[in-house]
A and B are shown apart, each in its own frame.
Chain A
Amino acid sequence: MNTIDTSHIRNFSIVAHIDHGKSTISDRILELTRTVEERDMASQLLDTMDIERERGITIKSNAVRVMYDADDGETYQFNLIDTPGHVDFTYEVSRSLAACEGAVLVVDATQGVEAQTVSNASLAMNADLDIVPAINKIDLPSAHPEEVKEEIEDELAIPADDAVCVSGKTGEGIHDLLEAIVFLVSPPRGDADEPLKALILDSYFDEYRGVVATVRVFDGCIKKGQSLRMMQGGEDFLVDGVGVKRPAETPVDAIGVGEVGFVVTGLKDPEAVHVGDTLTDAARPCAEPLPGYREAKPMVYTGLFPIDNKDYENLRDALEKLHVNDPSLVWSPETSVALGFGFRVGFLGLLHMEVVKERLEREFGLALIATSPSVDYHVYKTDGEMVCVRSPQDLPEATRIDRIEEPYLKAKVIVPPEYTGAVMQLAIDHRGVTTDMIHLSQKSVEMRFDMPLAELILDFFDQLKSRTKGYASLDYEFSEYRVSELVKLDILLSGDDVDALSFIVHKDKAYGLARGLCDKLKEIIPRQLFEVPIQGAIGNKIIARSTVKARRKDVLAKCYGGDISRKRKLLEKQKEGKKRMKAIGSVEVPQEAFLAILKVDE
């Protein structure tokens, strides 16, 4: 059923360190192949979410079909799968790679190989992909492509003689890159006569069409009206339609062997479709499903609470809808004395958390409070039982705890040599231990650390960037659980313990953090009618305090020429402001207070 011979199909991803210009290269490819006319070009076409465009980052993978007329006179079908570059979203990369035969590895000609370049390259090599190195931003005066080629060979062990020099900005070299893809990336292998075997790469929920799944067909083909089965989920459905993105959704007759496209399932339950599952023909199923891929495991947990308790059910629905195309999202109900009903949500990292919270607020119109991030602690009780604690509130009483173990990471930082001292100090401040230092080249050193995940999720990345003027890059992976001396720090407002502000912290850092947090909260909490004492406590012992002084005056005295509307509007504005606050007892607390821990300067 293929409209094109598989020998003329190339499926590839573009992988890169964040900011190395992956999205602009994708844009130029769409332009050069006239998939999108120049006049329709909005910058970074593949980043469809508002948040992606605003922040200039790719969060979700996206598959687009491009037809390329090559120099050999033949027309090739390219399926381009854009992938995220931030360390939080590594799992998305591995998902996308499972659908490809090749990967374009983009390296910035001015920055060279960075931590995410290394980890993405190794993901691509482990997936047995053909790699096309591309050195981007050669239009910049500070570009040094020859040295970058050496780095690619030395640090990644990838032959770089054929590396293509390109500029996503000017379009230079893009044609050469497309030719290199034709030559270097293998065509897909597969059998059109075998039973259908297709991988679900991604899915999203559409009000009208139900779940829409992005798939890569390995054997067989998918047509409208066909009856399909999800091998893992077990559910059968009738295909409502098939199509490809160019990049607008375009219906096609079929998705054949080696092709990438989308399937309209008509399924109304977002949970019915699992990303990573294998699709097959219900009438003639294949014997074995495709290997799924590494499941993304949440690293960070925060509480998400609707400011208005009535939104609890809406929040649950919204999480379910987001989960359809973000299977890494996990949650369980959580109750807070201060904030009411909400959820403890697991994220891949803090950026992931910010993105999800922002999507929930924008796409679902919810006003949310996020509480301090926590990791998954293993608490061994005196009775021998082990409990996983992801929220400070769930920590058993100190007398019932035998020991607490926390997750440790192996972190890898690549940095110019002049910053190694600063990075080492930063690691020490974050309870990290340097385990290795490798001089990759004259310009870069790879430093390895063992450090607790809890330290990394706070402000490590931001501080790393600021202390190295943005040069350092970071990658990490979980290593093991280790025993730590951890305590629960409680925060009291006007003498009342506010559970949502509690925090688990290392004993040695508790005093400094308590002081920092009390001071930060004093800045964040606006002055009220009465004085608000803020206290930090471990158990019954107060270890830090600050005070929000009582507000003395809040009045617009002048009543201009009978203009009462003006006064009323002021009161309305004041009321709107209060809606963004949460009343804890009689204290009005702004949303950001609950994440104040992230803003404490140590």
Chain B
Amino acid sequence: MGYRALYLHIPFCRSKCLYCDFDSSACGSSHEALDRYVERLIDQVHACGADSELSEIETVYIGGGTPSLAGDGLVELVRAVRTYCDPSEFTCEANPESFTDLLSRKLRQAGVSRVSIGVQSLVPDELAAIGRIHGPGQALAAIAAAKRAGMSVSCDLMCGLPGQTVESWRSTLEHVLAAPEAPDHISVYPLQLEEGTPLEALERSGGVMVPDEDFQAACMEIASDILSSSGYRRYEVASYALPGHRCRHNIAYWTGVSYLGLGRSAAGMLDLGAEGRIRTRQLDDEGLRFEREELTCREALAEDLMLACRMVDGIPPALLGRAARTVSAPALRDAVDRAVASGLARWEGGSLVPTRRGWLEGNELFGLFWDLA
């Protein structure tokens, strides 16, 4: 069984946001390193393509970093991928400051069907507090540009930002929805203070106040209410979509579909069925060195259960059956009973689906199933 999804990573941004601990270097206005990197990435695409590794690819996602920063290089990359496959969904991540009308039309023409824009907030002070280098106007313009070019548009929003209030969070959500060209998909993330980031150091030294988890919980609930009443269906703990706009690529990650990752620090996964699965991560720019992790079929199963709990459809009967065969039925029953007893999950037509509480207390729920590994 070959790869059905492809992830490409562009680890460059104009400047690094204060909360980010992901692999990305700030390159300012000099694009030399970025251009060289993209050329190498294109080489890797051709190499994999020549090995027929891309022939069954159904979804592609170019993430970062800030892929839109690569401009025409990004367009070249999209074309290179399209030489080997005809994916039904092709997403590019973009940040408002580098996503122009022209770039969006070029990307559309090259075969990109979906754009995910890092909006985060529509309040200037909140954007400044986390080191974003765009304003609310640029964000709304980027959404409009992508829509005009004929692409499905997603935007990322963050809650729990320094200075954020329940009112300002509502207002961000409402403004995004009220725009003449509203996005088709919205992702809602609570801010996570990661160790080693400037924001975390700032918070520790008392230089900035970050709202607590109760506030984040309230924001997640508000988002759920406002977005559902506007027709967006929450299909994953952090993802909302208008009908027909769910992200098929992300769903592939959460359902045990094999995916190839190219680019520095890109993650990949090859499912081997009864043999377990292999997770990889590229360590260099050239695609020569990889970190490799082998999972037993028990671990693979536990991972699938844990990931299924992220989604509205939960753990379907077929997966429960596989679980009962792979780990013991009593152990599975115990985990399921505990999830139901603590109000984290419930039964719905033979599937075990997460409750709203289960989504808020995700780690508790995921932990129950990961423990089966």
CB atoms of B238 and A557 under 8 A apart: yes
Question: Known: A559-B250, A560-B22. Contact between A570 and B267, CB under 8 A?
Answer: no
* Chain B residue contacts of A529, Cβ below 8 A: 342-344, 361, 364
Chain A nearest Cβ from B9, distance in angstroms: 6
Q: Does A55 contact B (CB under 8 A)?
A: no
Binary contact readout B280-302 vs A (1 if CB under 8 angstroms, 0 otherwise): 01000000000001000000000
Report Cα–Cα, A552/B343, bound state, in Å. Answer: 13
CB atoms of A562 and B259 under 8 A apart: yes
Question: Which residues between 551 and 578 of chain A lie within 8 Å of chain B, taking CB atoms?
Answer: 551-565, 567-568, 570-572, 574-575
Report Cα–Cα, A561/B59, bound state, in Å. Answer: 13
Q: How many residues of A contact B (CB 8 A)?
A: 23
Tell me whether chain B's interface is mostly helix, strand or loop, or mixed. Answer: mixed
Q: How many residues of B contact A (CB 8 A)?
A: 47
* Closest residue of A by beta carbon distance from B359: A555
Report Cα–Cα, A556/B306, bound state, in Å. Answer: 13
Binary contact readout A14-54 vs B (1 if CB under 8 angstroms, 0 otherwise): 00000000000000000000000000000000000000000
CB atoms of A562 and B253 under 8 A apart: yes
A-contacting 9-mer, from B35-43, B173-181, B210-218, B324-332:
B210-218
* Chain A residue contacts of B281, Cβ below 8 A: 563, 565
Chain B nearest Cβ from A589, distance in angstroms: 17
* Chain B residue contacts of A571, Cβ below 8 A: 306, 363, 366-367, 370
CB atoms of B220 and A553 under 8 A apart: yes
Report Cα–Cα, A557/B342, bound state, in Å. Answer: 20
* Closest residue of A by beta carbon distance from B253: A562
Question: Known: A552-B214, A571-B367. Contact between A562 and B261, CB under 8 A?
Answer: yes
Q: Does B99 contact A (CB under 8 A)?
A: no
Question: Which residues between 210 and 255 of chain B lie within 8 Å of chain A, taking CB atoms?
Answer: 213-214, 216-218, 220, 237-238, 250, 253-254
Chain A nearest Cβ from B3, distance in angstroms: 12
CB atoms of B361 and A554 under 8 A apart: yes
A-contacting 9-mer, from B48-56, B144-152, B185-193:
B185-193
* Chain A residue contacts of B279, Cβ below 8 A: 564-565
Report Cα–Cα, A559/B307, bound state, in Å. Answer: 10
Q: Does B71 contact A (CB under 8 A)?
A: no
Question: Which residues between 523 and 572 of chain A lie within 8 Å of chain B, taking CB atoms?
Answer: 529, 551-565, 567-568, 570-572
Q: Does B303 contact A (CB under 8 A)?
A: yes
CB atoms of A556 and B362 under 8 A apart: yes
CB atoms of B371 and A575 under 8 A apart: yes
Q: Does B266 contact A (CB under 8 A)?
A: yes
* Chain A residue contacts of B269, Cβ below 8 A: 562, 564
Chain B nearest Cβ from A532, distance in angstroms: 14
* Closest residue of B by beta carbon distance from A566: B267
* Closest residue of B by beta carbon distance from A553: B217
Question: Which residues between 562 and 602 of chain A lie within 8 Å of chain B, taking CB atoms?
Answer: 562-565, 567-568, 570-572, 574-575
Q: Does B360 contact A (CB under 8 A)?
A: yes
CB atoms of B213 and A570 under 8 A apart: no
Chain B nearest Cβ from A526, distance in angstroms: 12
Question: Known: A552-B213, A553-B190, A570-B363. Contact between A562 and B370, CB under 8 A?
Answer: no
CB atoms of B367 and A559 under 8 A apart: no
Report Cα–Cα, A489/B135, bound state, in Å. Answer: 59
* Closest residue of B by beta carbon distance from A552: B217
Question: Which residues between 354 and 368 of chain A lie within 8 Å of chain B, taking CB atoms?
Answer: none
* Chain B residue contacts of A564, Cβ below 8 A: 253, 267, 269, 279, 303, 307
* Closest residue of A by beta carbon distance from B358: A555
Chain A nearest Cβ from B345, distance in angstroms: 13
CB atoms of A562 and B7 under 8 A apart: yes
* Chain A residue contacts of B189, Cβ below 8 A: 557-558
Q: Which of B214, B250, B261, B344 has the most CB of A within 10 A?
A: B214
CB atoms of A557 and B363 under 8 A apart: no
* Chain B residue contacts of A551, Cβ below 8 A: 213, 361
CB atoms of B364 and A567 under 8 A apart: no
* Chain B residue contacts of A561, Cβ below 8 A: 7, 9, 61, 63, 261, 266-267
The contact sample of 17 A-B pairs, CB cut-off 8 A, is: A552-B217, A553-B220, A553-B360, A554-B364, A555-B362, A555-B363, A556-B362, A557-B190, A559-B238, A559-B253, A562-B7, A562-B253, A568-B303, A570-B363, A571-B306, A571-B367, A574-B363
User: What are the 8 tightest A-B residue pairs by CB atom distance, in nearest-first order?
Assistant: A555-B362, A553-B217, A552-B217, A557-B238, A562-B253, A563-B267, A553-B360, A554-B363
